[in-house]
Structure formats: C-alpha cells, structure tokens
Chain A
C-alpha cells in the first residue's frame, strides 16, 4: 500500500521545486498587485487604506496615461513591422547558398542580441549625439539632412528609441524565421510544380501560409517585448523630453519607485497585465482558427 501512495505523490514532488518559486515570485505577485490596487498607499500615507476602485479612476483621470499608452503603441506598431520585414528578407537571403561568408553575415546580424539593452542604449546615446554623433554626420553627408536634435527633440526621441530597438532585435527575429523556413519541406514545392502552379500561386498557397505560425510567433514575441520596453527608455531619455518618450512600464516604474505611490502603480500593473493577456489570447485564437495547413 505504501508504495502505491508514494507513486501517486511522486510526480508532485518533482514539481515542488519549480512550483515554490513560481508561486512566490509569479502567481502571488499578480494577486498581490490586484489586492494592492484597491488600497491607497503612498509616501504621505504609508498605511494602506481601502479605497475601492479609486486608484483605477485616478489612472484614467490623468492625461499623461493616454500619452503613455499612445507612445507604447507607437513603439510597437513602428518597431515590430520593420524588424519583422527586415528579418524575413534577411532570413530568405541567408537561406540561399552564399558560401562561407553566409556565416559572417549571420554572426554580424545576430551579435546585437548579445548586447545588454542598457548598453545598447548607451551606444545609441553616443551615436545620436546631435553635435558629434555618427548618425547626424552620415545623414548630412549622404542625404544632406540638417542636424536633428534626436533625444532632445520631442518629435525624434521616441523614433530614436525605435531605431535602436530595430538594430538590437532584427537578428533574433531573423533566426526565428530561419528556423521557420527550414521547417518547410521541399516536397511541397515539388508537388506544386507537378500541379503546374505558377510562382505567385506557390508563394500565396505554400510559403506564406506555412510561415504564418512563425510570423505569429514573431508577432507575439515582439508584442510582449515591445509593450515592456524599459531599459532603452531609462538609459536613453528617461521618458523625456516632456514625457514624449514615456512608455507604460517606465510610467509604472515612476509611480512605484520614484513617487512611491504603491496603489496607483498596482492599478496600472493590473490593467497592463490584463490588457496584454487578453491581447495574446485573442491573437493565439485567431491563429488557431486560420492555420489549417499544419501537419
């Protein structure tokens, strides 16, 4: 009898190490955020006072919140498509037989992945320096563009962050596409040839549909990471000038660790996590409905 009991418990014992840490640092924090979001607690009132939904009302009362959401969306919708497009083209090219240099291309495209975001931010601050930065120099030399103030200009600060993130991420996305291209079997194209399919038909009916799961994966990874952009904003602009490059996570950071307004920051966190999860579930559902080709 004893051995049966042990056999029944054993699987759970193997999960305990993981579950302990996941419970303390992942599941509990989410619930804890939810709990804290119903209390007013800040530097003036260190003792939490129940406040109902007041924190949530406060969130929407602030104009800056909408600016920050808009900036985050701007960041996502500009950086993801460009990064993806670049990555896809690069992956298709690198899937060609290009000889030994192919490896060099791949290493050069991928190396930014190894650089910490914070360090990438530092490099960018130096390159985007209006006076002696490399970017302005070559823009002027090759395109005759007059000096852009980049990180000091409300119009250009966020685009500079977007450009930096594209440089930092496209190599990683390229690798995902390379992996996806390898999954497509050559036989499909051969049978398409037998059927007498033209080039565009094959692109339309084989390559693109079969790359769709990869593309969806890239979009989801891209969305999760771009909604969380923080390191670049912290090191490059601190959200400035005049909050023109402030984004959701940085905004939460300000409320939590600069103003010590725990209640407000928690309400923001709850809204942020729910929005992101709903978004992801919606995306995954859409993909599942549309991808029938997968074997």
Chain B
C-alpha cells in the first residue's frame, strides 16, 4: 500500500474515550456519516439524473431519480446551442499557461527566499504574503482598466496574466526548500553545481510533492474561476467553461432544466472525473498545502 500522510490514524484516544463516554459507537458514526454523505451527494446525482431525462419527466409528482427512458440527446443539443467544446479548449489553455508561468515564477522566487541572503529579503517576502491576504475580487476593476490600457481586453492573455505570479505558491515552496538540509547544497557546490542548476537538479526534484500540490490547487482554482473571466471576456471565442455556462443560462433563460443540467454536468465533469481517479493525490495535496501554511 502506498504510504501517505493520513492513512495511519493517530487519532488521540481522547476522542475514542469521549465517544465511548457519551455512548457513541462506530455504528452511530457510520449512520451520521451516511446521512450527511447522502445529503451531500444528492445535488450532483440529481443534476446528472435531470440531464438524462426527457423534458416532460422533469415534472413528475415524486422525484424520478433513475431517468426512464434515458435521453442522451440533451448533451448533443447543448453542443449545438453553444460551443462548449471551444469553451473546454479555452479553459484548458488558460489553466495550463497559468500553471506553466506560476511554476517558473514561484520556483525562482522561493529559491531566492529560502536559500539566498540579501538585503530587504524580509520586506520583499512581506509583499508576497500581502498578496495571499488581499481579496482578489478587490483588484478586478483596476485590473480591468489596466488590461484595457494594455490593449489586451478580450484576449486569452487577459484571462491569464494577472495570475502569473502567486504569493501563496511561493510561500509554500519556500517552506519546502528551507527544509532541505544545507549539506545537499554544500555537496552540490563541490560538484560544481550551483545557482539555477542546483535549483533545477536538486531543489525541484526534492520539492516535487509541493509542486504537484500547488499545481493541482492552481488548476482547480482557475478552472473554477468566474468573476475575472466574466469581466474580461466579451466574445464567445475566448470564453471559459464557467462563463459559457452562465451565458448559456441567460440565453436559455431557465426554460429547459434538462439542457441546463446537461451543460452544468459537462462543465464540471472533466475536473470531477480527474478527481475521482486521482482522489488520493488530490486530497493529500490539498491537505499538505494546509499543513505547511
């Protein structure tokens, strides 16, 4: 079995005693969890079910959970009404380019903060921390005006550029780089490997778990991003999935639930499927990002 941070339960036995004390057995816990999970999973399953129904079957007196008869045509109809394939490609391009730039900017910055001594490093690091705390939504209007001045409004570049640097990612990676013993660096220097080569051949391979974690978080964040793309993408050609969905709703004005849910499921499916396949990696990554913070 693959070892991972959370597989071994070092649950302090205090909780077990507490649970015993108020006479809660594992059976009760299971009952509670099953109930909660049932409520949690219901909305998505219901949307999936709705997306596979005939329009008339939506209006049954009691909810029909298993679509009968099944209707896959809703999805092809959605594709005819709006270019969701294009939206998917746009989203993938945006997410990938942002990730590539973030990896570049944060590894070099984290290296400098973790391994090099220089004047003003504390103050400069504060600037990165500030970005972590600043509400992103607060900079949308000025950023819109800036992007407009730069003449890139309504381009894919505008969707991506504000996120090329990440304070949070730099912070996490700095923590990781700092934990790598100095001996490695000394040994590397003796081998004539310093600066960028040391970063590339020692630090990056050793910091890989953090890089993967930050990468996943970045992809999820920007796949799901809404406000910024809403503001800067006017033309359908550069729209991402979330904006495409919102525009589809307006175009449909809430008339046909089977189509709206088909669109919603399509927008969420790529990430959801990836999550279900790599769920261990995802949960581990999100958790490790918290542990270091």
Q: Which residues of A contact B (CB under 8 A)?
A: 8, 10-12, 14-15, 17-22, 24-30, 32-33, 36, 86, 90, 92-98, 101, 103-119, 122-127, 129, 132, 134, 137, 167, 171-172, 175-176, 178-179, 181-186, 188-189, 199, 202-203, 206-207, 217, 224, 227-228, 230-231, 234-235, 249, 252-253, 256-257, 262, 265-266, 269, 272-273, 276-277, 280
Known contacts A179-B287, A217-B293: A33-B141 contact under CB 8 Å: yes
Which applies to chain B's interface (DSSP): helix, strand, loop or mixed?
Answer: helix
Q: Which residues of chain A are within 8 angstroms of B231 by Cβ–Cβ distance?
A: 257
Let me know if B14 and A199 touch, CB within 8 A: yes
Q: Which residues of chain A are within 8 angstroms of B46 by Cβ–Cβ distance?
A: 123, 126-127, 134
Apart from the given pairs A115-B268, A182-B5, 9 other A-B contacts in the complex at a CB distance below 8 Å: A15-B124, A18-B170, A21-B162, A183-B291, A186-B13, A217-B293, A234-B246, A266-B142, A273-B134
What 1/0 flags go to B10-28 for Cβ under 8 Å of A?
1111111111010000100
Let me know if B14 and A14 touch, CB within 8 A: no
A203 to chain B, nearest CB (A): 7
Q: Which residues of chain B are within 8 angstroms of A124 by Cβ–Cβ distance?
A: 43
Let me know if B245 and A28 touch, CB within 8 A: no
Let me know if A265 and B141 touch, CB within 8 A: yes
Q: Which residues of chain B are within 8 angstroms of A18 by Cβ–Cβ distance?
A: 105-106, 108-109, 128, 165, 170
Q: State in angstroms the CA–CA spacing of A96 and B127 once bound together.
A: 41
Q: Does B159 contact A (CB under 8 A)?
A: no
Known contacts A11-B116, A273-B134: A21-B165 contact under CB 8 Å: yes
Q: Which 3 A-B pairs have the closest CB atoms?
A: A29-B142, A116-B224, A21-B165
Let me know if B108 and A14 touch, CB within 8 A: yes
Total interface residues on B, using CB and 8 Å?
Answer: 106
Q: State in angstroms the CA–CA spacing of A206 and B15 once bound together.
A: 12
Q: Which residues of B contact A (CB under 8 A)?
A: 5-6, 9-19, 21, 26, 29-30, 32-33, 36-37, 40-44, 46-47, 50, 58-59, 62-63, 101, 104-106, 108-109, 111-112, 116-118, 121, 124, 127-128, 130-131, 133-146, 161-165, 167, 170, 195, 220, 223-227, 230-231, 241-243, 245-246, 249, 254, 257, 260-261, 264, 267-268, 271-272, 275-276, 279, 282-283, 286-288, 290-291, 293
Q: Which residues of chain A are within 8 angstroms of B241 by Cβ–Cβ distance?
A: 116
Let me know if A269 and B138 touch, CB within 8 A: yes
* Nearest-neighbor residue (CB-CB) of B287 within chain A: A179
Q: Which residues of chain A are within 8 angstroms of B40 by Cβ–Cβ distance?
A: 108-109, 111-112, 167, 171
